[in-house]
């Protein structure tokens, strides 16, 4: 094979689907830059770090340059897709979801001064991680998880539906039993529902809890039942993953 042009080498480095396995160093660097940019967007919301604002500004601007260079590079190398129609390929990249996400990542640098809009724009950077996460050997794990969840989606929906019905029945019971003793916490179904959700998911904040003997008895019954609510989807997913793996390992033999 003849010597590869710079554009072709850059295309192979940026577009990992063209590689057999693993990630190129360039993609690892860009992945780290995306993670750093998301981390910066998170830390910028913390008021006690406001005296570091200039550091954040420099870091954001540097990342903006990196993302701008990457965006320009991706437009340039898009021509490698089909060498006969380079500009058509480039236009196709610009209007593709991946290209738009890259453009947003560059633009979002100029919204760093904060506000909800600027922050949400920064979160779009997370979408770009999907491109990295889909690469190499993660790609098979992704598709297995998706397949296992989708294969059993009816059973999972039913188990979440049962969880909601359990929350509703528990909240109703405590509303009748504890409503008069603690009107602030159990004085309506939605209020008792906050306690029921925290109990049945085994979170248990402890901001509200039954104080009457009957309320505690019903609460204990709900707590024991919560074990089954967590165990049901865990069991369904475990079986789905077993099935997916057996299907994969069984394919060559059958």
Which of 175, 178, 182, 185 binds a copy of itself (CB under 8 A)? It is 175
The region of 9-17, 53-61, 91-99, 212-220 touching a copy of itself under the rule CB under 8 A is 212-220
Between residues 18 and 164, which has the closer beta carbon with respect to a copy of itself? 164
Tokens of residue 195, six digits: 């306690």
Q: How many CB atoms lie within 10 A of CB 170?
A: 24
Q: How many residues bind a copy of itself (CB under 8 A)?
A: 82
Q: How many CB atoms lie within 10 A of CB 104?
A: 17
Which of 158, 181, 212, 214 binds a copy of itself (CB under 8 A)? It is 158
Residue 8 CB, shortest distance to a copy of itself, in Å, is 29
Rg (CA), the chain: 26
Between residues 33 and 41, which has the closer beta carbon with respect to a copy of itself? 41
Between residues 82 and 180, which has the closer beta carbon with respect to a copy of itself? 180
CA trace torsion 112, 124, 237, 204 (10° rounding): 30
Which of 62, 198, 212, 214 binds a copy of itself (CB under 8 A)? It is 198
Q: Collapse the DSSP code of 90 into the 3-class scheme (helix H, G, I; strand E, B; otherwise coil) and give the result.
A: helix
**How close are the terminal C-alpha atoms of the chain, in Å?**
39
Between residues 4 and 129, which has the closer beta carbon with respect to a copy of itself? 129
Phi, psi of 45 (to 5 degrees): -80, -10
C-alpha span between 80 and 89 (Å, rounded):
8
Note whether 244 binds a copy of itself by CB under 8 A: yes
Residue 165 CB, shortest distance to a copy of itself, in Å, is 7
What does the per-residue mask of binding to a copy of itself show for 117-156, with x meaning CB under 8 A?
--x---x--x------x---xx-xxx-xx--x---x-xxx
Between residues 81 and 151, which has the closer beta carbon with respect to a copy of itself? 151
Which of 75, 100, 214, 230 binds a copy of itself (CB under 8 A)? It is 230
Note whether 55 binds a copy of itself by CB under 8 A: no
**Touching a copy of itself, residues 56-115 (CB under 8 A):** none
Q: How many CB atoms lie within 10 A of CB 102?
A: 25
Asked if residue 208 lies in contact with residue 194, where contact means CB atoms within 8 angstroms, the answer is yes
Q: How many CB atoms lie within 10 A of CB 180?
A: 10
C-alpha span between 201 and 105 (Å, rounded):
37
Tokens of residue 27, six digits: 């993609």
Residue 101 CB, shortest distance to a copy of itself, in Å, is 15
**Touching a copy of itself, residues 14-53 (CB under 8 A):** 38, 41-43, 45-47
């Amino acid at each position: 094979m003849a010597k590869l042009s710079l554009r072709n080498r850059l295309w192979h480095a940026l577009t990992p689907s063209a590689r057999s396995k693993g990630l190129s160093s360039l993609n690892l660097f860009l992945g780290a830059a995306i993670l750093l940019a998301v981390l910066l967007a998170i830390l910028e919301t913390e008021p006690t770090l406001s005296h570091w604002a200039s550091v954040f500004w420099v870091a954001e601007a540097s990342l903006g340059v990196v993302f701008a260079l990457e965006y320009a590079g991706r437009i340039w190398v898009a021509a490698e897709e089909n060498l006969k129609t380079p500009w058509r390929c480039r236009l196709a990249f610009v209007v593709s979801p991946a290209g738009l996400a890259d453009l947003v990542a560059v633009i979002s640098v100029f919204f760093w001064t904060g506000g909800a809009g600027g922050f949400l724009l920064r979160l779009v950077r997370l979408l770009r991680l999907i491109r990295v996460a889909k690469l190499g050997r993660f790609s098979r794990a992704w598709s297995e998880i998706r397949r296992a969840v989708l294969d059993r989606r009816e059973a999972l929906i039913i188990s979440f539906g049962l969880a909601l019905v359990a929350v509703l029945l528990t909240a109703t019971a405590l509303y009748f039993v504890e409503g008069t003793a603690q009107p602030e916490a159990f004085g309506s179904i939605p209020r008792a529902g906050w306690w029921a959700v925290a109990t049945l998911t085994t979170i248990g904040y402890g901001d509200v809890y039954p104080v009457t003997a009957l309320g505690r008895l019903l609460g204990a019954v709900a707590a024991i039942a919560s074990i089954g609510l967590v165990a049901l989807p865990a069991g369904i997913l475990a079986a789905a993953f077993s099935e997916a793996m057996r299907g994969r390992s069984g394919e060559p033999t059958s």
